[in-house]
Structure 1
Amino acid sequence: MVNQDGDLMMRALACGIPLVETAAGVAYYRRLPTGQVSLSGKRMTYEGLVARIGILDKIARILEEQGRIEHYCSALASAFALIAADARGTYAGLQQEATERQRLYTPSALRRGVIRLQRSLARHKSTQADGREAAGQQAPEVVVSGLGHAEGVRPDITTAGETEALIPVAAIVRPAVSVVIPVYNRAHLLSRSLASVVNQTCQDFEVLVIDDCSRDDPAAVIRQFGDERIRYVRQPYNQGVAAARNRGLREARAPLVAFLDDDDEWFPEKLEAQIQLFEKAPKELGLVYTGVETVTDNGEVTEQVAAARGDLYRELLVKNLLHGGSSAMVRRNVITRVGFFDETLPAIEDYDYWLRISRYYKVDCIGRPLVRYHDLRDISTTQEASARRSRNIEANLRARELFYEKHKREMQAHGVAHLFLAQSARRHVSSEWHDAAGARRLALKAFFMAPASRYTQAALGKALVPRSKIDTYRRVFTRLS
């Protein structure tokens, strides 16, 4: 990674680790032979510029989470201005991206005046104190660095006209929540999900429709709404739903992010209820989910009430407590600690993300159903691409194996690895994917981990006795009785 040393140092400083200056050098900087380029020499390349923008975004999220962003807006704006200047004339897209962030963090004229006054007063007090303590001594040489140096450099990289055109922070309207909707070849369902967002009781939102390189036309559906709050972003090539959600997280401007699948819909008060819960909660709350109403294609309706809350990490190591991903709302700053969705998983990437969030943050819920989950079972009556990925049992089971390998140590440390394996074994013998061999393998593994557990015993019994034989024994027993 380019600039990884800068990434580490800036995160340390943002988290309160002091920087101590030594009187003498303690390291050597070796110049590479002619023709070779060091990592620091790549700071002006495309990769280097992207890394620098990403690091500043990360630092901004840390400062936002700590409630200190206001004090560093000017420094962030200057840093992004430097990147924009380095990209000028070579990478127009990166220049625009850096300039937009520069505008976002540029303080208003009033705020700049207050900052200058505060610094002037601080310098005056410092000078008076130094004068009292060292009267008659020659003043030491002043070394311009840090924020002072940034303020001095900034006029050299922006013209007067450009500076005046910058949008002050006070003039930028940030929505309360960003709604991320990945879509792939389901434009015919997108209208329903978008309508459920537009009709929310809370209207302070932006919608990011991330088109994962669909063959149909989601943009045409969006144009029908004529709503400027809906932003359409098309991926350069098909990368999967995890990558689409990650693109949405990177584009999101709000402090809260809600996820909605393109074939689900929300009840009108969903956003308002979750935002209110976040506003009253401490910063340790990272995720809020709701109950879910499930509707099958034959009209059958069931309700799942949400109840689990608090420290759910151990529970989520065993089982996903969030039914579907469309009920979740998270603080955008969870990315600072948790990162993004795992794009290597073929399924259950949302479950993996909720688990990782719960390791560092508390989870809360709204019990009543505020999401309508459309469970398409009869794929013969719909387009193949419209069938839910979660109905792709083979991909789901493969993802669970990868999930187990990823979190195995934590599962073992919490004493729940056998429970997760028993859950997976039951899925292998389900009526939708009858894999007796896979079920036996997982059930035996779980049983040897915890032979006294009734869960592993039950899972092993189901795996060893095929479902067809169980049905036969049940019919025989019914006749005899």
Structure 2
Amino acid sequence: MPVSVCMATYNGAAYVEHQLRSILAELHPDDEVVIVDDASSDDTVTLIEAIGDERIRVIRQIVNRGYVRTFEAALSQAKGEVVMLADQDDEWIPGRRDVLQEAASASGVAASNLVMLDSGEPLRSPITGRPWRLEPSTSGHRLRNELRILAGVTPYFGCAMAVRRDVLPQILPFPPFLTESHDLWIATLANRLGIMRHVAGPTVRRRIHESNASSSRPRAITQALQARGMLVRAYVEAGRRSR
């Protein structure tokens, strides 16, 4: 079953080649990597094209649209039966492709755990300080999972997610009010539909640096409340799309 890996890039020259080589080592000959570049001003696209792998397809955006709309554009171009999201600066763990492909094919949407690249330790919650982990036993806890999303204590990261192709029409287009957290939109919809599968093991090593799109640091109260309000709207929208 062919897989599409969707990546949004922006000024990612420092790490994108390393990430792509870890991805390509996992992929099958009929898989693809769809990269939408968000008007980078550095050598990101040049480095990607220099890899010279026919499975890579690069789409350049002339105007910077932000990572949410850039991921949306990448997902809309995917051709595979299972679509996996990938950030530009991480590293795939061997076995990721097949583990997430199997889980997403069976359920609809799959989300795995992740570890930090430098230490191999789980990412810790910015709220509790405890390791963030998804448990397979809670995959079907639809309301509980959504409440944990709203509380900010569930580690749904796009870089550790996969989606079966027939779910994309409900995911896309992203809601117009969505200005961040496209991964939490996908997780919200999956939990609302009852098609989420939690994968116990980590499938990605996450690189933490100053330019991460999603921060592991606590937010200011105003920002946190605004984000929660947007997620409530996402839950309502997910309900509308699940009818």
TM-score scaled by length of structure 2: 0.80
Matched, 1:248 2:74: yes
Q: Deviations over 1:287-311 (max 9, x none)?
A: 112221124xxx4442354314543
Counterpart in 2 of 1:362?
195
Q: Secondary structure at the match of 1:263?
A: coil
Matched, 1:258 2:91: no
Identity %: 24
Counterpart in 1 of 2:99?
273
The count of aligned residue pairs is 222
CA distance in 1, matches of 2:168, 2:237: 22
Verify the 8 A CA contact 2:104 2:197 in the aligned structure 1.
no
Return closer, same or farther for 1:348/1:234 CA change in 2, 3 Å cut-off.
Answer: same
Note the residue ranges of structure 1 that are not aligned, 5 or more in a row. Answer: 1-174, 380-385, 412-481
CA distance in 2, matches of 1:181, 1:409: 25
Q: Secondary structure at the match of 1:319?
A: helix
CA distance in 2, matches of 1:194, 1:311: 33
Counterpart in 2 of 1:291?
113
Q: 2:8 aligns with which of 178, 182, 191?
A: 182
CA distance in 2, matches of 1:273, 1:339: 24
Verify the 8 A CA contact 1:207 1:231 in the aligned structure 2.
yes
Counterpart in 2 of 1:390?
215
| 1:401 maps to amino acid | G
Verify the 8 A CA contact 1:202 1:272 in the aligned structure 2.
no
**1:354: how far off?**
1.2
Q: Secondary structure at the match of 2:207?
A: strand
Kindly indicate whether structure 1 or structure 2 has the higher relative contact order, using CA contacts under 8 Å at least 6 residues apart: 2
Bigger radius of gyration: 1
Counterpart in 1 of 2:121?
302
Q: Secondary structure at the match of 1:254?
A: coil
CA distance in 2, matches of 1:287, 1:251: 18
Note the residue ranges of structure 2 that are not aligned, 5 or more in a row. Answer: 123-131
Q: 1:340 aligns with which of 173, 196, 200?
A: 173
| 1:360 maps to amino acid | L
Verify the 8 A CA contact 1:291 1:370 in the aligned structure 2.
yes
**1:316: how far off?**
2.9
Q: Deviations over 1:43-79 (max 9, x none)?
A: xxxxxxxxxxxxxxxxxxxxxxxxxxxxxxxxxxxxx
Verify the 8 A CA contact 2:36 2:58 in the aligned structure 1.
yes
TM-score scaled by length of structure 1: 0.42
Please tell me the root mean square deviation across aligned C-alpha atoms, in Å.
2.7
Moved over 6 A (4+): 408-411
Counterpart in 2 of 1:207?
33
Counterpart in 2 of 1:324?
157
